[in-house]
Amino acid sequence: MSDKDLRYTAEHEWVDARDGVATIGITAYAAERLGDVVYVDLPEVGAAVQAGTVIGEIESTKSVGELYAPVTGTVTEVNAAVVDAPETVNADPLGEGWLVRVDYAELPELLGADEYEALTRA
Amino acid sequence: MTDLSPDPASRRSPLHDVHAAAGATFTDFAGWQMPVRYSSDLAEHAAVRTAAGLFDLSHMGEILVVGPQSAAALDFALSGPMSRLAERQAKYTLMLDENGGIIDDLVVYRTGEDRYLVVANASNREVVAARLRERADGFDALVEDESGDIGLLALQGPRALEILQNLDGLDLRADIEPGTSTADAVAALRYYRAIPGEYEGRRILVARTGYTGEDGFELYTSPEILRTLWESLLEIGAGAGLVPAGLAARDTLRLEAGMPLYGHELGLSVLPAQAGIGRAVSLDGKGDFVGRAAIERGEPADPRSDFAGRVLVGLASEGKRAGRAGYAVHEDGGGRVGFITSGALSPTLGHPVALAYVDADRGEPGTTLSVDVRGTRIPATVTPLPFYTRAAH
């Protein structure tokens, strides 16, 4: 999986959507800007989430970032390893640092890699 | 994710390119673009607690006060007994306004019989220089803002001394006992003392001061040789664990050490005693000074402010969720009794700590309060400051 294949939100989440399941995390840019992540608060498995609403929090020593649901659906899995070791978000934001998986019916329009990159350079 | 707006263009340190090459992330701080971290703020924080960290503080303001009546002028302009400082002694002091509120907190070095160096926060440099000029009017003393001509690095941590002792090109010999070395002079320098010398042919002031709760030094010198000083220190200190450290680590370090920060714990609405720094005000040691009458009256600097009637306390919690600046502090199961001014998950202690202003009758250590962390009440205990004290050596 290359970051070119992912979709993105303007709120700095990445989405790997396939077969009706979206794996969601925060981008390397967001992780870098936050600094060392020390606490991650994620929704419960089974929770219904609405695209565009806050479903979790990512705290660094310096600040708090909110995790927005990029899609509407049901949480099927959360990354317990990241809750135990929040620094994984910095070490591998697009891989081991994924946060939640959401079952969705319809994929909303999201940003492509080039669009997202342009956003972070603005 | 939100709130990740890019930094606006602003003033740059003479070391900007060096920081960028080292991979620094920058933040806008008081109009300056300064390194917030190089790689990991937790690693930089830990390095300062266990080995050493090097900070670029080029944004700080350095103001010289010179002249036969400089001591008297500063006694009037500032809260502390500046005329009582010995040469080479430094003092933490305050600039107050007529209401007793805090314009800025300062470190003042007496660098000669009639010379003082006043170090101000970056955001207050201009107002401090302007007020000093006004207040020195009528005294035979000159106030010069030298911030553009003085660079500042802070070398902080338990191994700072040995690193500085190994710095080639640092020469303090002109100013010490014959037969002693620069390394001896550095070792003999006491806390809150400063010694002048030369580094690479330029003047340098080596001070045993800092803002981290660790032993360490602050080095004032010409911006032209700041890069040489920075790179030389990092090179000779690498074996001892010295790393460059950014403003993120500086903030968590000073928070653990219980040190107030202007704009968070200190401001025009805060009387020194509320902030726990009444000791920086000298009512007995000298005559009149700006703010004295208001301090003696003891009324709030701004009765309508959220600070009025409240005192600065430390709060400690369990778990990992930290209260942040602006979060409300409540009575256990009750109403709002104050607010947090700085807070973080303490990297050294592993639990949340915060500085907060709470109603004066809720400030007793051991009092159980709660912090509203975005809708969740987290229990917090009033804790004596500092949260962290370095081991005696």
In a domain, B47, yes or no: yes
Contact B344, B325 (CB under 8 A): no
The C-alpha atoms of residue B52 and residue B234 are separated, in whole angstroms, by 10
Mean pLDDT of A15-40: 95
In a domain, A91, yes or no: yes
Give start and end residues of each alpha helix (H) in chain A: 28-34, 80-84, 88-91, 113-121
In a domain, A14, yes or no: yes
Looking at the structure, tell me whether residues B247 and B324 fall in a common domain.
no
Residue B251 with chain A: CB contacts under 8 Å: 62
In a domain, B139, yes or no: no
Nearest Cα to A103, choosing from A64, A85, A77? A77
**Whole-number pLDDT of residue B333:** 79
**Whole-number pLDDT of residue B3:** 45
In a domain, A62, yes or no: yes
Domain C-terminal end among B238, B255, B272: B255
Nearest Cα to B276, choosing from B308, B250, B302, B314? B314
Looking at the structure, tell me whether residues B155 and B46 fall in a common domain.
yes
In a domain, A121, yes or no: no
pTM of the model: 0.93
In a domain, B136, yes or no: no
Q: What is the CATH number of the domain that holds A83?
A: 2.40.50.100
Query: Between A and B, how many CB-CB pairs are < 8 A?
Result: 69
- Say how far residue A103 (Cα) sits from the centre of its chain: 14
B334 versus A30: the higher-pLDDT residue is A30
Domain that includes residue B157, residue range: 11-57+150-255
B2 to chain A, any CB pair closer than 8 A? The answer is: yes
The HSE-up count of residue B96 (CA atoms within 13 Å, CB side) is 29
Structure tokens at B230: 């920075």
In a domain, A117, yes or no: no
Nearest Cα to A69, choosing from A57, A80, A55, A82? A55
**Whole-number pLDDT of residue B334:** 86
The C-alpha atoms of residue A12 and residue A9 are separated, in whole angstroms, by 5
Distance from CA of B40 to the nearest CA of A (A): 6
In a domain, B264, yes or no: no
Task: Name which of A34, A36, A94 to mutate to probe chain B: the one with the most chain B Cβ atoms within 10 A of its Cβ.
Answer: A36
Residue A33 with chain B: CB contacts under 8 Å: 4, 25
**Whole-number pLDDT of residue A121:** 85
In chain A, the residue whose alpha carbon lies closest to the alpha carbon of B251 is A62
- Say how far residue B119 (Cα) sits from the centre of its chain: 9
One-letter amino acid of A91: A
The C-alpha atoms of residue B10 and residue B239 are separated, in whole angstroms, by 34
DSSP per residue, B225-273: GHHHHHHHHHHHHGGGTEEE--HHHHHHHHHHTT---BTTTBSTT--TT
Domain count, chain B: 2
**Whole-number pLDDT of residue A1:** 47
Q: Distances from the Cα of B26 to the Cαs of A98, B75, B291, in angstroms?
A: 26, 38, 37
**Cross-chain residue pair A67–B1, CB shorter than 8 Å:** yes
**Whole-number pLDDT of residue B305:** 96
Instruction: Specify the pairing of strand A7-8 against strand A13-18.
Output: antiparallel
Task: Name which of B4, B37, B255 to mutate to probe chain A: the one with the most chain A Cβ atoms within 10 A of its Cβ.
Answer: B4
In chain A, the residue whose alpha carbon lies closest to the alpha carbon of B346 is A61
**Cross-chain residue pair A33–B4, CB shorter than 8 Å:** yes
Domain that includes residue A106, residue range: 3-110
The C-alpha atoms of residue B81 and residue A110 are separated, in whole angstroms, by 63
In a domain, B285, yes or no: no
Q: What is the CATH number of the domain that holds B375?
A: 2.40.30.110
3-class secondary structure, A91: helix
Contact B323, B339 (CB under 8 A): no
Looking at the structure, tell me whether residues B251 and B165 fall in a common domain.
yes
Task: Name which of A62, A63, A94, A111 to mutate to probe chain B: the one with the most chain B Cβ atoms within 10 A of its Cβ.
Answer: A62
For the segment A56-91, what is each residue's pLDDT rounded down to a tens digit?
Answer: 999 998 889 999 999 999 999 999 999 999 999 999
Domain C-terminal end among B193, B222, B255: B255
In a domain, A100, yes or no: yes
Residues 6+ apart with CB under 8 A from B325: B264, B340, B341, B342, B343
How confident is chain B (393 residues) per 10-residue block, as mean pLDDT?
A: 53 96 93 94 98 98 98 98 97 98 98 97 97 98 97 98 97 76 93 96 97 98 97 98 98 98 97 96 93 94 95 97 96 92 97 97 96 95 97 69
Distance from CA of A105 to the nearest CA of B (A): 23
Contact B343, B299 (CB under 8 A): no
Looking at the structure, tell me whether residues B244 and B327 fall in a common domain.
no
B174 to chain A, any CB pair closer than 8 A? The answer is: no
In a domain, A115, yes or no: no
In chain A, the residue whose alpha carbon lies closest to the alpha carbon of B26 is A33
Residue B41 with chain A: CB contacts under 8 Å: 35-36, 60-62
Question: B198 forms bridges with which residues in the sheet?
Answer: B171, B203
Domain count, chain A: 1
Q: Is B169 left (phi over 0), alpha (psi -120 to 50) or beta?
A: left
Residue B40 with chain A: CB contacts under 8 Å: 35-36, 90
ipTM of the assembly? 0.83
The dihedral sign for the CA sequence B329, A36, A44, A47: positive
Residue B345 with chain A: CB contacts under 8 Å: 38-39, 59, 61
Structure tokens at B385: 């400051």
Q: What is the CATH number of the domain that holds B237?
A: 3.30.1360.120
**Cross-chain residue pair B25–A33, CB shorter than 8 Å:** yes
Nearest Cα to B117, choosing from B59, B57, B196, B186? B196
Residues of chain A contacting B, Cβ within 8 Å: 11-13, 26-27, 29-30, 32-36, 38-39, 41, 57-68, 87, 90, 122
In a domain, B62, yes or no: no
In a domain, B275, yes or no: no
B182-216 b/e with 16+ CB inside 10 Å = b?
bbebbeebeebbbbbbbbbebebbbbbbbbbbbbb
**Whole-number pLDDT of residue B175:** 64
Distance from CA of A7 to the nearest CA of B (A): 15
Structure tokens at B305: 């402010």
Looking at the structure, tell me whether residues B160 and B241 fall in a common domain.
yes
The C-alpha atoms of residue B217 and residue B49 are separated, in whole angstroms, by 14
Helices then strands, each counted (H, E), chain B = 9, 21
Contact A55, A100 (CB under 8 A): yes
Structure tokens at B357: 């202003």
**Cross-chain residue pair A39–B322, CB shorter than 8 Å:** yes
Question: B204 forms bridges with which residues in the sheet?
Answer: B197, B221
Who among A29, A61, A122 is closest to B41 (CB)?
A: A61
**Cross-chain residue pair B25–A32, CB shorter than 8 Å:** yes
In a domain, B107, yes or no: no
In a domain, A80, yes or no: yes
Before B244, cis peptide (omega within 30)? no
The C-alpha atoms of residue B229 and residue A42 are separated, in whole angstroms, by 46
